Structure 1
Amino acid sequence: MFRNFSRLNKSILNPSNIRKLATAAPPGPQVSVLANGLTVASQSVPYALTATVGVWIDSGSRSEDSKNNGVAHFLEHLAFKGTQTRSQRDLELEIENIGSHLNAYTSRENTVYYAKTLQPNINHSLEILSDILTKSSLATNAIDRERDVIIRESEEVGKMYDEVIFDHLHAVAYKNNSLGRTILGPIENICSLQRNDLVEYIKENYKGDRMVLVGTGSVNHDELCEFANKSFGHLLKSKIPNVFGQPKTIKTHSFPDFNSDEIKIKESSLPETYMALAVEGTSWNSPDYFTALVCQALAGNWNRSVPVNNGSPGIQIAIGTGHHGEPLANSYMSFSTSYIDTGLWGMYITTDGIENYKLIQAILNHWKELKKGMFYKHQFETAKSQLKASLLVSVDGTTALAEDIGRQMVNTGKILSPEEVFDSVNKITEDNVVDWFNKKLGAGKLAIAALGNQVDTMPSHKEICNEMVRYN
């Protein structure tokens, strides 16, 4: 593609044409709020022939209690099983006939329903989404059929050990808080949830001021607002007005104090040991949000099966000092997970070795180096570049763009442009990073979850926390 660059782009490089291209840049996101509090956010993409439209709900498993944990995910399954005006078969045929694709997912803090559709069918797709969200039939026979499906899904998730470890990590870090519960809920809840539980959850959480209708691609903002008012205008507001990006006033949203503790599950049948170590991270609205992401990129990732890795050289050296020179780990991945009022930052590691004591020591040595600023200038700049690239890739395409806009609105109450994001990242200094590492890694508070055949070769939680403090 680049061989004819100079020949093909002479006209583009002409100053007058540069001005023309600049004026053709897409407008920024448009945001409106309806009388019932429902927010409409859109981003038009020039020349797009398709659109992604969907509803982001400021409610997920965190909005549940111990008795109905799993209900938000259960509702997601029932969404496409029929409404008061359409049977499941009617829904499937109608969606297929207009060439749209519907999808949905549930997270700890959000529930999302969206459609990828051709431009002429935007309103039709939104009407179907409205029908699904506000007029779901929730038939008893459909509920009973779906129990088995969700139980099988739960069994499959139980074999995905990265998912299992992070569920255990949340349970440890957010003990006795709704944020520590799983999204699918326990099997006993899946078996016992009844139609009334689903109806009550909808009444409590599916409010106008807890929803954002998002449209990206070939969309018109005024038309979206008009349709949103027609199809979602009947939804009520919360009794206490909801503010996006702020803790909810409902009883399940108590502040989640970070709990420094561990869970180790011995499972001799597993070929590997899976572990996650996390300190308290940053919330979506924290002024250190992007600093934590730069720190994550600087901590790096590594996998012994991948020839080229972007892991920190310090830890790559450390993990290569096991028995017979073999790596102490099979892989490690740094992560930074944010919620409205808290977050988790740490490392996820897999290993089949028996030298987990030495492995943990290598991780702690790596953290010690980061706290002391023992990294090169080019490593710091590379971490920032990698973060900016990943943020840019995350908005490539109408669906990814809709996801970014919806996520930002419900979690922060605002939408940052790529330029604003890049500016925030560019302003982060090495001192900012070192200060953040010392604040978080030097507190001596750590949540640990481990599962596998060699958990008993790990140092104790107390030993690890003491070592973290000793390294200050």
Structure 2
Amino acid sequence: MSIATRRLIMLSRRSHQALTTTRSTSTAVSDTPRFLKHNSPHPILTDHTSTLSCPQTRLTTLPNGLRIATESNLSHTATVCVWIDTGSRFETDETRGVANFLMNMVYRGTSKRSMSDLDEEFENMGGEYQSYISREQTVYIVKVTATDVPKAIDVLSDMLQNSTFEENMIVDLRNDTITRMLEENEDPDSVVSDCLHAAAFRDTPFGRSTDGRPKDAFFVTKKVLQDYLSTHYSTHRTIITASGAVNHGEIVEQVKKTFTKLSTNPITSTQLVKQAPAIFTGSEIRKRDDDMPYAYFGIFFKGASWTDPDSFALLVIQLMLGSWTKSTDVDKNKGSQFAQMAGIDELAEHLRAGTCHYKDTGLFGVSAIAKPDCLDDLASAIMQKLSQLCYQVTEEDVIRAQNKVNRH
């Protein structure tokens, strides 16, 4: 992590401590200079458990290692998710792109339900369903009414344990996957994200796209899918969550009855990460296309992992910087000086601070869209604003960002 980033984190953390210790006793602002008040180099807040414990989350771990977490509220609907610790980071050269292919393949039919049957069941429940994949996780999400929670769990368990992987369905999905990849290769935002990870984690699976390459789809077979499923879709790497109108005890019993065929491979994602830790490499990738009217780019630094106490400080810093979009003139009047700079000086079409976290690392920085003749000035302005956070931040800016965190 760069020295500048560490200073940003330390500054945000000290401010958080000052706010939390004075909020209940006084609202007066001390005349003491900021750096004299918060000059300790040692972290104060090292555990966010108390912050994250509301609303209460109930957790049960079954004997086979499968974890079940629930949060109940007075809603009339419920969301059921299956989180599996697998993604492109855990792929090999031989299984590149398989995680994403498998995520889409489980919707193509099981031994109990055809593809049309699955669609019909979701439609009859009036539910919303989706799935997504990242470099470390694959997630399946279903949102239904309270009465349909048992059925949603049954359908999810069927998809993840009884998929048939019929050859004709594999061929159809292969064609769809290749077409989608070619379309995404034309999407500048997707290209920038992939280039960012490729530059930060060079020559490792972590630096690869979650989609794989078009040619990888031709090597996916039924056996490849079954092997990947048995290796990575295991009880020790799976968490089932439910929130909303749910009862923890009932969810546990339903999961016990339905999720009975998951692999019991004892290897966890944490063990795999320790075997191949992420190594951040500062570097640069450029892809030039003079036919495009704008340039899409990002300036990022090594950030913090999910469990790093600095992850909250980086989130506050991200919201302090904010975002700017040219089509919304009101952004010129935002509290963020970063957004004001972009709007008043008209250096960018779009500007956004961002942070992402992984098991043992993270990324923090700024992405932007700008005209080619503005790039030098914009890059210089971004670095100036990031550096400025190390020594010039007001209490009002920190409070504003913290309030945004609370609203999220």
TM-score, scaled to structure 1: 0.71
Q: Distance in 1 between matches of 2:127 and 2:373?
A: 51
Q: Does 1:96 align with 2:115?
A: no
Per-residue deviation, 1:253 = 6.0
Between stretches 308-317 and 190-199, larger displacement belongs to: 308-317
Match of 1:362 in 2: 381
Per-residue deviation, 1:311 = 6.5
Distance 1:293 1:317, change over 3 A: same
Gaps of 5+ in 2: 1-53
Match of 1:464 in 2: none
* Mapping for residues 54-453 of structure 1, pairs under 5 Å: 54-240=81-267, 242=268, 248-250=270-272, 254-309=276-331, 310=334, 312-313=336-337, 316-317=340-341, 320-321=344-345, 327-372=346-391, 374-389=392-407, 391=408
Cα pair 1:315 1:362 within 8 Å, conserved: no
Q: Secondary structure at the match of 1:53?
A: strand
Q: Secondary structure at the match of 1:265?
A: coil
Cα pair 2:321 2:337 within 8 Å, conserved: no
Cα pair 2:69 2:241 within 8 Å, conserved: yes
Q: CA RMSD in A?
A: 2.0
Between stretches 351-360 and 311-320, larger displacement belongs to: 311-320
* Mapping for residues 2-41 of structure 1, pairs under 5 Å: 28-41=56-69
Q: Secondary structure at the match of 1:267?
A: coil
Per-residue deviation, 1:74 = 0.6
The one-character-per-residue Cα deviations of 1:344-388 (angstroms, maximum 9, x if unpaired) are 00000111141322221111221221122x132212211221222
Cα pair 1:337 1:344 within 8 Å, conserved: yes
Per-residue deviation, 1:97 = 2.6
Distance 1:376 1:115, change over 3 A: same
Match of 1:12 in 2: none
Q: Distance in 2 between matches of 1:285 and 1:361?
A: 32
Aligned length: 353
Match of 1:394 in 2: none
Q: Distance in 1 between matches of 2:121 and 2:245?
A: 21
Distance 1:235 1:192, change over 3 A: closer
Q: Secondary structure at the match of 2:108?
A: coil
Q: Distance in 2 between matches of 1:253 and 1:159?
A: 35
Per-residue deviation, 1:290 = 0.4
The one-character-per-residue Cα deviations of 1:71-129 (angstroms, maximum 9, x if unpaired) are 11111211111001211122222332333333211111111112222222211121111
Q: Distance in 1 between matches of 2:125 and 2:395?
A: 53
Q: Distance in 1 between matches of 2:299 and 2:216?
A: 29
Gaps of 5+ in 1: 1-25, 322-326, 392-472
Cα pair 1:177 1:254 within 8 Å, conserved: no
Alignment-mate amino acid for residue 370 of structure 2: T
Cα pair 1:329 1:353 within 8 Å, conserved: no
Q: Distance in 1 between matches of 2:62 and 2:302?
A: 37
Per-residue deviation, 1:251 = 7.7
Distance 1:81 1:175, change over 3 A: same
